[in-house]
Structure 1
Amino acid sequence: MNSAPTHGHSYVADSSLPPDPSPVVVLAGPIRSGDAPRLCERLRAALPGAPAVTCDVSGVTTADLATLDALARMQLAARRAGSRMVLRDPPAGLAVLLELAGMAEVLGASAAGASGVEMVRDAEQREPALRVEEAVIPRDPPR
């Protein structure tokens, strides 16, 4: 079953693919800041009875904060419905932005690791804790 919005860009088509039993929501074109509510409605329509929904974002042409906001809102809508959303085939720019924003794992971006960006976190360097006990003098004023 394919469906498209009545006007504007063709953002979402709902279908079930035989190898993947979860419903697939396909996003294509630019995603603007006002599109999030409509995309969440489309996602909720694909959710009934599905433990997860795959969101194919291979056709998304924007990698900006409006796109991140829409994807995060869609994930929240899925979780509120007792399901989850997994991203499939994010374009390189979107994959990099997902990683930099710390959202790749949250959104389950399957190709985000292939973006070439590796998040490096330095281990915190501090001296090992010493077993020092401090004595408190009752009449000693605080400094």
Structure 2
Amino acid sequence: MGDVVFVVRGPVRGADVPGLCDRLAAVVRASGARRVTVDATALGAGGPEAVGALARLRLTAKRLGCGLSFVGADERLVGLLGWLGLGQVVGEAEEGEEMGGVEEGVDARDPPR
């Protein structure tokens, strides 16, 4: 049991969100992770779909008893998340700090499994 990194590749559409949440849940259950770091680098400035996806991922992690934070998010996306009260989960890894042991790449354009 340790931390996991969950990579979200954009762009994200509203229809992609349930699949992303299902994949996050599967990764958490399989790894027994207590904390998930979502790498949101590929989402760019985001938009409503990206904000909605990140909010739903946070809710999914919470329901699984897992902490969640975001890294690599564009400052405009961070601003939107802060405005929605989700800014406290956006952070960068400390310099020299490793980001976890399991990495799961998710492309929002992939069909759900």
Establish whether TM, by shorter chain, passes 0.5. yes
- 1:88-116 Cα offsets, whole Å, 9 max, x none, are 121122112112222111xx1005xxxxx
Worse overlay, 59-68 or 27-36: 59-68
More helix as a share of residues:
2
Give the secondary-structure state (helix, strand or coil) at the position aligned to 2:85.
Answer: coil
Q: Does 1:26 align with 2:26?
A: no
Alpha-carbon distance in structure 1 between the residues aligned to 2:75 and 2:62:
26
Alpha-carbon distance in structure 1 between the residues aligned to 2:18 and 2:45:
18
The one-letter amino acid paired with 1:68 is: V
- 1:66-105 Cα offsets, whole Å, 9 max, x none, are 2111111111111111112211121122112112222111
- TM-score w.r.t. structure 2 length? 0.71
The residue that corresponds to 2:59 in the other structure is 76
Alpha-carbon distance in structure 1 between the residues aligned to 2:57 and 2:36:
10
Q: Which runs of 5+ in 2 are unaligned?
A: 93-113
Tell which has more relative contact order, 1 or 2 (C-alpha 8 A, sep 6+): 2
Runs of 4+ in 1 over 4 A off after TM superposition: none
TM-superposed CA distance for 1:62, in Å, is 4.7
Alpha-carbon distance in structure 2 between the residues aligned to 1:81 and 1:96:
26
Q: Which runs of 5+ in 1 are unaligned?
A: 1-20, 112-143
Higher Rg? 1
Alpha-carbon distance in structure 2 between the residues aligned to 1:93 and 1:40:
23
- Aligned residue pair count: 89
The one-letter amino acid paired with 2:60 is: A
Checking the alignment, whether the CA contact within 8 Å between 1:30 and 1:62 is kept in structure 2 is no
- 1:9-48 Cα offsets, whole Å, 9 max, x none, are xxxxxxxxxxxx4111101221111111011011112112
The residue that corresponds to 2:109 in the other structure is none
